[in-house]
């Protein structure tokens, strides 16, 4: 069954309304809701006094309308009594300021008292709902994140370091604490990187970010353990925040879960763009699928204008449907809209849901009702379909954290660089997996690992083996610069990948953002067609050892010297791009890469039309999504059947603005 539904807060509305809500949901094809992830105050009004009566009643009404539920453990927003019990459980910001009560997520993730209260409410809910026919699974907490720098975290950081390094000598050596006489002689001397401490030691700062990420993984695991023990028949997930979220190692956070869920808001109040770039959503979905190499859920899909104090653009007609099918095209096995009804009170008064404040169904409800009817018909043909990309992009959270600590160039963005290569592939309708540096790469024809700045031996061996065995690797400047302690390597760059790339960085330069250096490309199959590719921000001046030069700088004192090289290594090839390029360069390199690797495009489409493939058993499904505001024509190479209309289509087909087609072979 395709899980289709909404995030529902019955506790915000009078009980007399619940029946009507359930009926309207049922009429919209809803079969699943998420409940209770912010209801701690109602579930445990006083310490150890639980009240499940209201939730039982809500579940009973929903179930009578054919609707089942995921329950959220409510630990993302503590009731005042929890925080009154533990005044030192308030999170401390990097500035050193302690948070106060009033929003949500005020808690410190390592506070033992907070963790205990979280286990108690989780255990109580788990016991009460373990065998409830309406309950199918759990969401733990809500959108984990936010670093804490409190004294309790400091003590836990010291213990974490002790576990990791064993001795202070090892810590001092790893971080190079001899610099500025930071040699620690007691564990308790080790600080946390508060802003009041100034620019921190990079080794300490990276370990702190890893520790904090790990703190959430461990906090989550305590709840996972309780739920696994008490509710063995339920699934467990968490709602992640997509590719753009950068404070937790999401590969680690996903490990203990059955599958990943995430929250997709294409139009945010603070992102005032007329048109949502399709690739900006696609990379989020692909990253969420990549965390476990598995289909995912959208636990919150935008269904109205987003906003807290201000109101964002409302989804244009057809957009909710387009975003829904785009999520499905990229691997979503379930879609829940946030939120059922726009709230009349609280911080999120202006975060609009399916229904407006007055509870009346209008345009957005009708659009969702239409999608619900479609998915009731064709959902079974989509659930569990596989994505089978032949290209991977490597995402490394250690690298991401390390660039937060030292961006290298004020305008360099690591996720921006990944996205730039991703966008070029997306424009060609080439499917992409986003994978960790140690993932099994053997199934990919090409791997792009931009700026793998913190590079350990295991990841380096993985990439080397991949190329040796015939893979094509694209890597860039700022690769292999740091070892895992965040110290600069004691070898020519790109460090552990210098041999695979057959190149050494002789020296490097950075450029002001407004300045770029034209490149002379000599790549086989150069597709720039008269346009000049440019180096930006960072310029490695390269000396090939075994590689051939495929681009040279045309300006600066290094004019004529190598900027990009290509090396044959084992049965494969490694392209080293010694700069952060512009779009022309990235487009050209991706043209070369897909040709050299023989990676097919799902379909050639006009700008604005996204084509995505999935496989249901051996049946290929082709999704066509017109993100443009006008009609676009697409040419189909063979005759196909449109699942949504049951009609056979062939040759030239016209897609209306925001239209969706899901095609399978005739
Ligand atoms: C997030 C949260 C929700 C809600 C929405 C809208 O995704 O998970 O609880 O706050 O944003 O702000
Ligand atoms: Zn803390």
Boundaries of every domain in the chain: 3-142+210-382, 391-597, 609-665
Q: What is the mean pLDDT of residues 646-657?
A: 97
Query: 3-state class of 403 per DSSP?
Result: helix
Q: Beta strands 446-449 and 391-394: pairing type?
A: parallel
Show the tokens assigned to 211: 């520790």
Sheet holding 135-139, edge to edge: 235-237, 135-139, 68-72, 32-35, 3-7, 332-338, 296-302, 261-264, 239-240
Which listed ligand is nearest to 212 at the C-alpha? Answer: 2
Does residue 189 register a pLDDT over 80?
A: yes
Which listed ligand is nearest to 151 at the C-alpha? Answer: 2
Residues in CB range of 467: below 8 A, 6 or more apart? 473, 500, 569, 570, 572, 573, 574
What is the atom index within ligand 1 of the atom nearest the CA of 348? 12
Is the bond leading into 4 cis (omega within 30 degrees of zero)? no
What is the atom index within ligand 1 of the atom nearest the CA of 239? 8
What is the atom index within ligand 1 of the atom nearest the CA of 143? 8
At 358, phi and psi to the nearest 5? -80, 0
CB-based contact 405:486 (threshold 8 Å): yes
User: pLDDT digits over 563-616, tens only?
Assistant: 999 999 999 999 999 999 999 999 999 999 999 999 999 999 999 999 999 999
Distance CA 458, CA 436 (A): 12
What is the CB neighbour count within 10 angstroms for residue 101? 12
User: pLDDT digits over 430-450, tens only?
Assistant: 999 999 999 999 999 999 999
Place of tokens 């733990």: 140
Residues with CB under 6 A from ligand 1: 142-143, 239, 263, 300, 338, 348, 351
User: 302 C-alpha vs ligand 1 centroid, how far in Å?
Assistant: 10
Residues in CB range of 480: below 8 A, 6 or more apart? 452, 453, 455, 460, 489, 493, 494, 495, 496, 497, 498
User: 105 C-alpha vs ligand 1 centroid, how far in Å?
Assistant: 12
Distance CA 44, CA 112 (A): 19
Distance CA 448, CA 445 (A): 10
Distance CA 330, CA 424 (A): 17
User: pLDDT digits over 260-305, tens only?
Assistant: 999 999 998 666 788 999 999 999 999 999 999 999 999 999 999 9
User: 166 C-alpha vs ligand 2 centroid, how far in Å?
Assistant: 23
610 in active site: no
User: 149 C-alpha vs ligand 2 centroid, how far in Å?
Assistant: 5
Distance separating the N- and C-terminal Cα atoms of the chain: 24
User: 112 C-alpha vs ligand 2 centroid, how far in Å?
Assistant: 10
Domain 391-597 belongs to what topology?
Answer: Rossmann fold (3.40.50)
Average pLDDT over the chain, rounded to an integer: 97
Which listed ligand is nearest to 99 at the C-alpha? Answer: 2
Helix (H) / strand (E) containing 610: strand 609-616
| CA separation, residue 25 to residues 53, 496, 548 (Å) | 22, 56, 62
- Residue with CA closest to ligand 1 atom 10: 348
Q: 397 exposed, middle or buried (CB, 10 Å; 0-12, 13-18, 19+)?
A: buried
**Across the strands, what pairs with 543?**
504
Out of 37, 44, 300, 374, pick the active-site residue.
300
Does residue 514 register a pLDDT over 80?
A: yes
Does residue 147 register a pLDDT over 70?
A: yes
**Across the strands, what pairs with 651?**
636
300 in active site: yes
Q: Beta strands 619-626 and 609-616: pairing type?
A: antiparallel
User: Options 3.20.20.30, 3.20.20.450, 3.20.20.80, 3.90.180.10; which CATH number does 3-142+210-382 get?
Assistant: 3.20.20.80
Model pLDDT, residue 528? 74
What is the atom index within ligand 1 of the atom nearest the CA of 37? 9
Distance CA 287, CA 285 (A): 5
Domain 609-665 belongs to what topology?
Answer: Immunoglobulin-like (2.60.40)
User: 508 C-alpha vs ligand 1 centroid, how far in Å?
Assistant: 43
pTM: 0.98
User: pLDDT digits over 526-573, tens only?
Assistant: 777 778 999 999 999 999 999 999 999 999 999 999 999 999 999 999
User: 155 C-alpha vs ligand 2 centroid, how far in Å?
Assistant: 9
CB-based contact 368:4 (threshold 8 Å): no
Model pLDDT, residue 269? 62
Which listed ligand is nearest to 114 at the C-alpha? Answer: 2
Residues in CB range of 237: below 8 A, 6 or more apart? 70, 137, 138, 139, 140, 257, 258, 259, 260, 261, 297, 299
Residues in CB range of 104: below 8 A, 6 or more apart? 38, 76, 77
- Residue with CA closest to ligand 1 atom 11: 263
Distance CA 489, CA 501 (A): 17
Model pLDDT, residue 473? 98
The best mutation among 73, 338, 341 to test binding of ligand 1, ranked by most ligand atoms within 8 Å of the C-beta, falls on 338
CB-based contact 495:455 (threshold 8 Å): yes
Residues, the chain: 666
């Amino acid at each position: 069954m395709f899980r289709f539904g909404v995030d529902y807060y019955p506790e915000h509305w009078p009980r007399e309304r619940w029946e009507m809500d359930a009926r309207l949901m049922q009429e919209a094809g809803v079969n699943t809701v998420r409940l209770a992830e912010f209801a701690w105050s109602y579930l445990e009004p006083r310490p150890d006094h639980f009240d499940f009566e209201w939730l039982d009643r809500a579940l009973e009404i929903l179930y009578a309308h054919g609707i089942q539920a995921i329950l959220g453990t409510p630990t993302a927003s503590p009731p005042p009594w929890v925080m009154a019990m533990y005044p030192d459980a308030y999170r401390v910001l990097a500035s050193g300021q302690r948070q106060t009560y009033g929003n949500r997520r005020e808690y410190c993730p390592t506070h033992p008292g907070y963790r205990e209260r979280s286990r108690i409410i989780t255990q109580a809910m788990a016991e009460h709902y373990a065998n409830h026919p309406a309950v199918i699974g759990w969401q733990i907490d809500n959108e984990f994140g936010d670093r804490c720098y409190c004294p309790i975290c400091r003590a836990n950081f010291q213990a974490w370091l002790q576990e990791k390094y064993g001795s202070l000598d090892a810590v001092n050596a790893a971080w190079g604490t001899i610099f500025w006489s930071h040699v620690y002689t007691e564990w308790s001397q080790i600080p946390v990187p508060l802003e009041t401490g100034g620019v921190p030691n990079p080794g300490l700062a990276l370990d702190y970010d890893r520790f904090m990420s790990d703190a959430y993984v461990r906090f989550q695991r305590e709840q996972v353990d309780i739920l696994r023990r008490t509710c063995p028949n339920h699934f467990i997930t968490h709602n992640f925040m997509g590719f753009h979220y950068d404070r937790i190692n999401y590969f680690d956070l996903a490990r203990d879960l059955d599958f990943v869920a995430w929250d997709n808001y294409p139009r945010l109040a603070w992102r005032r763009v007329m048109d949502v770039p399709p690739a900006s959503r696609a990379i989020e979905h692909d990253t969420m699928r990549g965390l476990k190499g598995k289909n995912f859920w959208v636990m919150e899909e935008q269904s109205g204008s987003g906003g807290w104090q201000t109101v964002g653009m409302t989804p244009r007609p057809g957009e909710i449907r387009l975003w829904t099918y785009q999520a499905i095209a990229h691997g979503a096995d379930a879609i829940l809209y946030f939120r059922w009804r726009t709230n009349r009170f609280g911080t999120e008064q202006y975060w609009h849901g399916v229904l407006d404040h007055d509870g009346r169904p209008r345009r957005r409800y009708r659009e969702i009702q239409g999608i619900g009817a479609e998915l009731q018909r064709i959902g079974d043909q989509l659930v569990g379909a596989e994505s089978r990309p032949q290209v991977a992009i490597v995402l490394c959270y250690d690298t991401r954290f390390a660039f937060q600590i030292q961006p290298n160039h004020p305008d360099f963005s690591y996720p921006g660089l990944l996205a730039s290569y991703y966008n070029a592939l997306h424009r060609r309708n080439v499917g992409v997996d986003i994978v960790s540096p140690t993932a099994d790469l053997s199934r990919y024809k090409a791997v792009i690992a931009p700026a793998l700045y913190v590079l350990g031996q295991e990841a380096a061996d993985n990439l080397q083996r991949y190329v040796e065995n015939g893979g094509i690797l694209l890597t860039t400047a700022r690769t292999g610069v740091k070892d895992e302690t965040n110290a600069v390597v004691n070898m020519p760059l790109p460090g552990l990948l210098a041999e695979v790339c057959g190149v050494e960085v002789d020296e490097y330069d950075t450029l002001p953002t407004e300045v770029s250096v034209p490149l002379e490309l000599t790549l086989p199959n150069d597709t720039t067609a008269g346009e000049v590719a440019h180096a930006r921000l960072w310029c490695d001046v390269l000396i090939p050892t075994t590689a051939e030069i495929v681009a040279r700088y045309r300006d600066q004192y290094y004019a004529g010297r190598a900027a990009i090289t290509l090396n044959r290594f084992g049965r494969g090839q490694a392209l080293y791009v010694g700069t952060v390029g512009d779009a022309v360069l990235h487009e050209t390199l991706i043209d070369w890469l897909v040709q050299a690797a023989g990676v097919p495009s799902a379909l050639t489409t006009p700008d604005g039309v996204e084509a995505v493939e999935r496989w249901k058993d051996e049946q290929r499904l082709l999704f066509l999504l017109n993100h443009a505001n006008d009609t676009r024509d697409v040419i189909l190479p063979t005759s196909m059947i449109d699942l949504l209309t049951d009609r056979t289509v062939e040759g030239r087909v016209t897609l209306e603005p925001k239209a969706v087609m899901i095609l399978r072979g005739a």
